[in-house]
Amino acid sequence: MRAVVKIIGDVVANVRAEYDTVDNEKPYYDYGHIFDITDRLQEKTENPDHKLKQFPLILVIQDFPERFDENLINRSVEGLTMFLCTETKHNYKPDERYTNTFENILYPVYELLFKYLKQSTEIDKESLAHEKYDRLFFGKYDIYGNKVLTFNKYIDVIEIIFDKITFLQTC
């Protein structure tokens, strides 16, 4: 049995091969608890060799329950959450965010992600129903704007929440 995050990592590798045909580095991929991800992004920010190697980024947010069938062959995850992230500028207006980050970066990554999720032999193609949120200037809000930046960075995000995604055992 392979870990869900490893299966999705293989999907991201296929996305990367098509998205970044020159360097085969982007989009980057990470998973784990949101605090761990924040720490790793901060470490990259502080490292001159990795500072520019953070975005675009595909994240799988953990923890999530896995429900197995009676034969322990297939499993499903309800509410699996993924973030597609890219850096943004704090002073962008919504139309600038859509032009500069969503249309040019996040939407192409989103489309490639689903292209390769559907091609995976380890994912049931009929189980990809999801909710999608465009999160402009992702953070915690109050009436005056962002109080806390998620990941301590100015980012725009597509949040994906799967209704119930099923992972298949392959031989």
Over the stretch 45-57, which tens digit does the pLDDT of each residue have?
Answer: 899 988 888 999 9
Look at residue 17 in the predicted model and tell me its pLDDT: 97
Look at residue 52 in the predicted model and tell me its pLDDT: 86
Domain span at 41: 4-167
pLDDT interval class at 139 (50, 70, 90): low
Distance CA 39, CA 79 (A): 24
Any residues with CB less than 8 A from the CB of 46 and at least 6 apart, and which? none
pLDDT interval class at 159 (50, 70, 90): very high
Which pair of structure tokens corresponds to residue 131?
Answer: 């909710």
Look at residue 67 in the predicted model and tell me its pLDDT: 96
Per the structure, how many domains does the chain have? Answer: 1
Q: Is the dihedral of CA 166, 109, 38, 156 positive or negative?
A: negative
The whole-chain average pLDDT of the chain stands at 90
